[in-house]
Amino acid sequence: MGSLIQSIVGLVEDGVRVMGIMCGLLLAANTSASAQLPSAGGMSTAVVKPPPAMRVEDVPPIPTKIVERVSRYVSSRAARMQSWHPTRREMLISTRFAETMQIHLVQMPGGTRRQLTFLPHRIDAAWFEPHAGKYFVFTMDEAGDEIFHLHRLDFDTGEITQLTSGEDSVNSLDWTQRGGQLIYSSTTGDAQYSDFYILDPLNPNQGRRLARVKGLGWDVLDVSKDDTQVLIRQYISAVLST
């Protein structure tokens, strides 16, 4: 172990960037075969065998025991807070199970999560209905196509209803102060314009477009208390927005 560390330090001091290659080897270890490395005591030590598609130069063999010890860290996952319940101390979070991000409910401080969605596609964001929290809406694309549509999950039945469709992709939304409607922005399929819609999640067929603006990166930030004005923003770059 000590000689392995000294070898790595020596390579770094010589200007060789091995860290990224080593991380790649560690991540690929679960799908790669192992090889045997003779040790000083005559016993063989199992090491990671790089996959055929990876070219490795000047990197010492990595014992599989190191991979097993490191796997607890590289296999970790994060949870992201999504929405507070309007009347109870509950919140929606998203975390990855299997290959996709799904929505979970945490019903008390320090409580365990309860998975609510079991869908094959990743869910990007979720929002409680702001008055009674009887349902929540969420955005989801299909097979990574980056076209996000709105859906509604009803807590009473567990049923999921798709609210938007077509080639337009939903970017952001905010709720009106009264009436349980939401205002959302979307990008047109030709990536030339952004539209703003008002929609009742319980009656999605009655949604209507409020405005169309040229360009991309438009988001809904807030709705006034009397529901007559909407604050929007265009994200242009990390240093410029309007």
CB 203 within 8 A of CB 154: no
Q: Residues for the chain: how many in total?
A: 242
DSSP-derived letter for residue 111 is P
Q: Provide the b/e sequence for 91-110 (b: ≥16 CB within 10 Å).
A: bbbbeeeeebbbbbbbeeee
50 and 58 in contact (C-beta within 8 Å)?
Answer: no
- What span, in angstroms and rounded, lies between the C-alpha atoms of 213 and 146? 21
Q: Give the residue ranges of DSSP H helices in 162-226.
A: none
Specify the pLDDT at position 242. 72
Q: Helix, strand or coil for residue 179?
A: coil
Q: Which residue type occupies 3? A: S
The reported pLDDT for the residue numbered 54 is 85
The Cα 61–Cα 206 span in angstroms is: 63
Position 55 scores a pLDDT of: 87
**pLDDT string in tens for the chain (242-residue length):** 455 445 544 544 444 444 454 555 555 555 445 566 565 555 567 888 888 888 888 988 889 888 888 887 877 778 999 999 999 999 999 998 778 999 999 999 999 999 999 999 999 999 999 999 999 999 999 988 999 999 999 999 999 999 999 999 999 999 999 878 999 999 999 999 999 999 999 999 999 999 999 999 999 999 999 999 999 999 988 888 77
What is the distance between the alpha carbons of residues 145 and 162, in angstroms, rounded to a whole number? Answer: 17
Instruction: Check: CB of residue 134 under 8 Å from CB of residue 156.
Output: yes
Query: How high is the pLDDT of residue 170?
Result: 97
CB 185 within 8 A of CB 222: no
Cα 83 to Cα 125: distance, rounded to the nearest angstrom: 9
Residue spans of beta strands (DSSP E) within the chain: 34-38, 44-48, 79-84, 91-97, 100-106, 113-115, 123-128, 135-140, 149-154, 160-162, 169-175, 182-187, 193-200, 203-214, 218-223, 230-237, 240-241
Write down the pLDDT at residue 40.
55
Residue 9 has a pLDDT of 45
Domains (range + CATH), the chain = 2-74 (no CATH), 79-241 (2.120.10.30)
